Structure 1
Amino acid sequence: MGMNELAIFKYDDLTDSPSELSKRIDGIIAGLEIGDTVIFQSPVWISPNFEKRFIDKVKSYQGKVIIFINDVPPMMFASNEVLIPDFIEVYNKADLLIVSSENMKEYLVDKGVTVKKS
């Protein structure tokens, strides 16, 4: 089984037009083939919008997306609680979630995650 890293660097995506963002993601996934599985570590500290668009683009290649959730910003910082609907939308796009603790799993289910978790 071969694996390749998809390099995602931190930047301010809020200045990108939808077209620019699409082109940027195309560059990141240029080596992706139809049906590939992508293990995506979240958060990438760009924006939930970037994560949504990235996952949508992978899915357009009939790819599977596994999200490894390292941290959930709204769990970390009360001031980010307003972002939970965006993160739940991102997580529910995945085919599988890998969470780092039972506490995180319970929190996410309580907030509306419906994807299989492991």
Structure 2
Amino acid sequence: MTENTNNGMDAQGRRVRHARMRIETTVLLNRGTESFPTELEDISATGVRLRKPSHWNGEVGQTWVVDMIFGSNLHIHVDARVMRISTQWIGLEYSRIPENKQETLWSLLGGYADKLEPWEEENL
């Protein structure tokens, strides 16, 4: 695993984050009585980036249930906090991964679970 000990910076002073695995699948975003179908753009060990649904009214800091469907037999749901919102995307950070879904998520991520990558803010 690449070391990440300096508040999101690598040894060369570059900003880093957990590597994102690009994968597209159907997602249902739920909060209270609100429910929005959308698409997963990418997933990492710490969160997801989703296509922003039309008429979605969420805000930074809110927690949403993210239900991801991968094929006919792989379903992962997590609680995630909205960290970033752009005109096209929502960036969410996991706040709770049910214990019975953790191994499934790490298996899905494979080598991406332990990898870091450089990033810039505009890359949401």
Task: Provide TM-score, normalisation by structure 1.
Answer: 0.29
1 or 2, which has the higher strand percentage?
2
1 or 2, which has the higher helix percentage?
1
Q: Which has the higher contact order (CA 8 A, sep 6+)?
A: 2
